[in-house]
Amino acid sequence: MFARRLFVYFSLSLLFSQVTPGQSATPVPSLPGASTAVAAPTPAQPQITFNSVHVEGPYIALTFDDGPNATLTPKLLDLLAAHHFKATFFVVGQNAADHPEILRRAVREGHEIGNHSWSHPNLAKMSDEAVRHELQKTEDAIVAAIGKRPALLRPPYGSITANQKRWIHDEFGYRIIIWDVDPLDWKRPGPSVVTSRILKETRPGSIVLSHDIHPPTIEAMVATFNQLEAKGFKSVTVTDLLALAKPLPPKPSPSPRASTTPIPSPASVSTPPVTTSTPGG
Ligand code: NI
């Protein structure tokens, strides 16, 4: 349906994009000698966008997009409860408005609700006013359901511009959550493939993307949760994972690339105009 057509578009657009989501939030490195020339150093900007975090401990964040779904999301909540895993649901506003009781159950059981827009459009291609409308309408539906504003946004397809990240953070207070583990479950490769992809890629601090609107995804979560738990992983909400984040330890030695190019050119550290990711989000 609508989402499928956009998948095709984004598969094509990926061919022309080298951009990795989330990296645009990386602070610009200071240049050697700049401290003598610049009177007032600019304080580091707080990070707005996250693909994963560095944590000390076996913590991950399982995230489920595009729901809630009347039958699948309750099944998933049962599975999560059996493993004491907490998840984050990035809900589509119109689904949230249709199933507020599922959101209430999720929150009651310790899960988090994030904003995933009202109708799942590509935000990067839209006017600020249209984006604002998508987010506000969804936020209103979430507040109506659970009595609490969301703190997180996952842009559909992970697609959002650097400028949008800034004003959305300023206006709504959202942090922008992408992912580092994507099993491409929306392509329905089969539950065992979804499980093996997640198990292979997940490490402490990972943010795992899946969708609670596809029956094989929920089926995949039975073995996925069993194996994640066997490996000692603990899933927490995204907000809790971000709170557990620690600064990355300094690297033991500079990379060969860094030693040949010590000063990044402005182009290499500037924020790309559009962040486009895989179509799964
Ligand atoms: Ni989505």
How do residues 98-122 score in pLDDT, each as one tens digit? 999 999 999 999 999 999 999 999 9
How many angstroms does the Cα of residue 237 sit away from the middle of ligand 1? 18
In this model, does residue 129 exceed pLDDT 70?
yes
In this model, does residue 246 exceed pLDDT 60?
yes
| DSSP calls for the chain | -HHHHHHHHHHHHHHT--PPTTGGGSPPPPPTTHHHH-SSPPPPPPP-EESB---SSSEEEEEEES---TTHHHHHHHHHHHHT--EEEEE-HHHHHH-HHHHHHHHHTT-EEEE--SS---GGGS-HHHHHHHHHHHHHHHHHHHSS---EE--GGG-EEHHHHHHHHHHH-PEEE--SB---GGG---HHHHHHHHHHH--TTBEEEEETT-HHHHHHHHHHHHHHHHTT-EE--HHHHHHH--PPPPPSS--HHHHH--S--HHHHSPPSEE---TT-
What does the pLDDT average to over 30-46? 49
How many angstroms does the Cα of residue 73 sit away from the middle of ligand 1? 15
Catalytic residue positions? 65, 211
Q: How confident is the model at residue 255 (pLDDT cuts 50, 70, 90)?
A: low
Percent of the chain at pLDDT exceeding 70: 75
How many angstroms does the Cα of residue 93 sit away from the middle of ligand 1? 11
pLDDT value of residue 275: 46
Instruction: Give dist(CA 135, CA 108) in Å, integer.
Output: 23
Chain centroid offset of residue 144 CA = 23
How many angstroms does the Cα of residue 30 sit away from the middle of ligand 1? 36
Please write the tens of the pLDDT for every residue from 193-215: 999 999 999 999 999 999 999 99
pLDDT value of residue 45: 78
pLDDT value of residue 27: 38
Name the more confident of 261 and 114. 114
In this model, does residue 81 exceed pLDDT 80?
yes
What does the pLDDT average to over 262-277? 42
pLDDT value of residue 160: 98
In this model, does residue 269 exceed pLDDT 50?
no
Task: Label the pairing between strands 274-275 and 160-161.
Answer: antiparallel
pTM of the model: 0.78
How many angstroms does the Cα of residue 95 sit away from the middle of ligand 1? 12
In this model, does residue 34 exceed pLDDT 90?
no
pLDDT value of residue 156: 98
Q: How confident is the model at residue 250 (pLDDT cuts 50, 70, 90)?
A: confident
What does the pLDDT average to over 215-223? 98
Among 216, 218, 181, 186, which Cα is nearest to 53's?
A: 181
Q: How confident is the model at residue 43 (pLDDT cuts 50, 70, 90)?
A: low
How many angstroms does the Cα of residue 18 sit away from the middle of ligand 1? 21
Domain 48-248 has CATH 3.40.640.10: no
The radius of gyration of the chain's CA atoms, rounded to the nearest angstrom, is: 19
How many angstroms does the Cα of residue 113 sit away from the middle of ligand 1? 14
Which of 19-23, 31-35, 205-209 shows the highest mean pLDDT? 205-209
Q: How confident is the model at residue 177 (pLDDT cuts 50, 70, 90)?
A: very high
